[in-house]
Amino acid sequence: MTQFEFFALAFGSMIGVGWVTAVGGWLDQAGPVGAIVAFVLGGAIMLCIGLCYAEATPMLPVAGGEVAYAYLAFGPFKSFVVGWSLAFGYISISGFEAISISKVLGYMFPDSNWWLLYHVAGDPVYGSHLALGLICTGLITWLHYRGVDG
């Protein structure tokens, strides 16, 4: 991977599109100033976490990220638990991201909201959004599989 590709992967993993779908509720509850303060505080916390990784990475220059750090600090059993926890966390996030993609495109292209299936907590769920989420999830899965294979 080039430095830019690595940066893009890390940035996308940290930021994602979740903020786009959550900002409406934040603005309703906290207002514009409250949302700005929340973003600044969240960014400061992420900066601290990034600086910790920047310090830890040169100390343990191996692949594996958190699993390698847990292995060095706590041994094989706890690193095994960390690895599976991360895997399940990433799997659960992929479902949220699939929903977010459809919701963002629904905001951008209101005509894509067709085939109303049901409502969840007052929000409509459209068949077109589910299909798009499945397609995007399949595409991302294929890209990851292709990347691991090569």
Q: Are 144 and 94 in contact (CB under 8 A)?
A: no
Measure Cα distances from 81 to 49, 76, 119 in Å.
21, 9, 36
How many domains, the chain?
A: 2
Angle of CA points 25, 31, 32, to nearest 5°: 105
Do 52 and 80 lie in one domain? The reply is no
Among residues 43, 59, 75, which one ends one of the domains?
Answer: 59
Among residues 23, 39, 59, which one ends one of the domains?
Answer: 59
Residue whose C-alpha is closest to residue 35's, from 23, 19, 18: 23
Q: Which tokens hold the place of 51?
A: 């600086």
**How confident is the prediction along the chain (150 residues), in pLDDT tens digits per residue?**
678 877 776 666 666 666 666 666 777 788 888 878 888 888 899 899 889 888 888 888 888 888 998 998 899 999 999 999 988 887 777 777 777 777 777 777 888 888 899 888 887 888 888 888 888 778 878 887 887 765
pLDDT of residue 150: 57
Q: Residue 26: give the domain boundaries.
A: 1-59
Do 79 and 47 lie in one domain? The reply is no
The letter for the amino acid at 58 is P
Do 8 and 81 lie in one domain? The reply is no
**Structure pTM?**
0.55
pLDDT of residue 85: 92
- Residue 16 CA to residue 19 CA, distance in Å, equals 7
Do 43 and 76 lie in one domain? The reply is no
Strand partners, 120: 123
Provide the phi-psi class of 147: left if phi over 0, else alpha when psi is between -120 and 50, else beta: alpha
Measure Cα distances from 10 to 13, 18, 75, 76 in Å.
5, 15, 26, 26
Among residues 10, 25, 59, which one ends one of the domains?
Answer: 59
